[in-house]
Amino acid sequence: MPASSYHSFRDPMPDLAGKSVLVTGGTGSFGRAFVRQLVTGAQPIPRRIVVFSRDEQKQDTMAREFRAQLAEDVFRRLRFFIGDVRDESRLELAMRDIDIVVHAAALKIVPTAEYNPFECILTNVHGAENVVKAALRMEVDKVVALSTDKAANPINLYGASKLAADKIMVAANHLSAGGTKFSVVRYGNVIGSRGSVVPLFEDLIKSGAKTLPITDPRMTRFWIALEQGVAFVLSSLAMMEGGEIFVPKIASMRIVDVARAMAPQLPHQVVGIRPGEKLHEVLITEDDARSTWELKDRYVICPADHQRDAHLKAMGATSLPEGFRYSSEGNPQWLDADTLRELLGRKAA
């Protein structure tokens, strides 16, 4: 499928004029792209954008880069706030006068989480809890949290921690009593993001590697372009009523085909599946499907006690058939080599 046929996820878009937005993990791959979209996209620029992260070096680099690229009046809308989602009081300070929170901070590398389970739980689970508590106390309007396909039927600690975070976000709507709304966005691998196999392959190719490591020739993954992920979060913000898990319709690709697309001349070395890895990923399980609605460009998983049928039906949503499962190996949409190279901005070899 050509990149031009990808869903753009730009409908609907939220009205951010006069709003204040905070992004946790704001110096990560998603955070930087999200902030860039807020200050350069077609939608109104928010009144204030708070980049919340714990890495002072990344904040300094990001601030200098954006200052050089933006008009002074636009750059002045950015705030760089050092903090960790493990620190609830720091989150409360950062969320003063904030209307929208995008929670992107997480420990994401599967083997790292397997080896450092306490640290993963502190950031991914307790961090989500802290975001909820701070947002409730500061009376934030909306919170959308980024999740992962690994949270569906998890077999590794990262996936389990993100499933717990998803449950915390959905349940938070009961605590807000109609005030703050909490929802989740769940998607697959982001092409080119930190922790993705694509930068690994790029580094190996640039260093003159003679082979590329392949965990298993059968392995498949969901893939989404970074710009798509940003647009999907924005459109989900516009659509959310609280408690939903939004899942985009995106393409799959075998890891071995990713390697062939990037370096068709290099042979592969099968190294085996790493601890905690799945052969294929799932975004919607059969059990989730019973409470899921389908729209043209996405699925919406609703909480068990939802009252959104009329709202979603008015948007043209339909229920899913019994036994539906949205998995990377059974996906009807597949990336080919030319499409991947187009998304990466690379020429065919």
Copy the structure tokens of residue 226.
């970074």
Q: pLDDT digits over 300-341, tens only?
A: 999 876 666 777 888 889 999 999 999 999 999 999 988 888
Give backbone dihedrals phi and psi of 296, rounded to 5 degrees, phi first: -60, -40
Whether 200 is in a domain gets the answer no
When the pLDDT of each residue in the chain is averaged and rounded to a whole number, the result is 92
Residue type for position 236 = S
Is the model's pLDDT at 347 over the cut of 80?
no
pLDDT over threshold 70, residue 1: no
**What is the mean pLDDT of the segment spanning 263-267?**
93
Domain that residue 90 falls in = 3-188+223-250+283-326
Q: Check residue 349 and give its pLDDT.
A: 41
Q: With respect to residue 294, please indicate whether it lies within any of the assigned structural domains.
A: yes
Cα–Cα dist 235/296, whole Å: 13
Instruction: List, for residues 208-256, the tens digit of each pLDDT value.
Output: 999 999 999 999 999 999 999 999 999 999 999 999 999 999 999 999 9
End-to-end CA distance of the chain: give it in Å, rounded: 19
314 falls within a domain:
yes
CATH number, domain containing residue 106: 3.40.50.720
108, 150, 162, 181: which one is catalytic? 150
Joined together, the tokens standing for residue 178 give 């109609």
According to DSSP, the β-strands at 245-248 and 298-301 are: antiparallel
Higher per-residue confidence, 5 vs 319: 319
What pLDDT shows up at residue 312?
83
Span 66-93, average pLDDT: 97
H-only helix segments in 11-142: 29-40, 56-69, 72-75, 88-94, 110-115, 117-121, 127-137
306 against 202, higher pLDDT: 202
Q: How many domains does the chain have?
A: 1
Strands 326-327 and 282-284: antiparallel
**Is residue 89, in this structure, part of any structural domain at all?**
yes
Residues with Cβ within 8 Å of residue 112, at least 6 apart in sequence? 120
Identify whether 149 is part of a domain: yes
User: pLDDT tens digits, residue range 10-54?
Assistant: 888 999 999 999 999 999 999 999 999 999 987 789 999 999 999
In 255-335, the DSSP E strands lie at 268-270, 282-284, 292-294, 298-301, 318-319, 326-327
Cα radius of gyration rounded to whole Å, the chain: 20
pLDDT of residue 191: 86
* Sign of the torsion formed by the C-alpha atoms of 51, 192, 168 and 166: positive
Q: Does some domain include residue 265?
A: no
- Look at residue 203 and tell me if it is in a domain: no
Active site residue 313: no
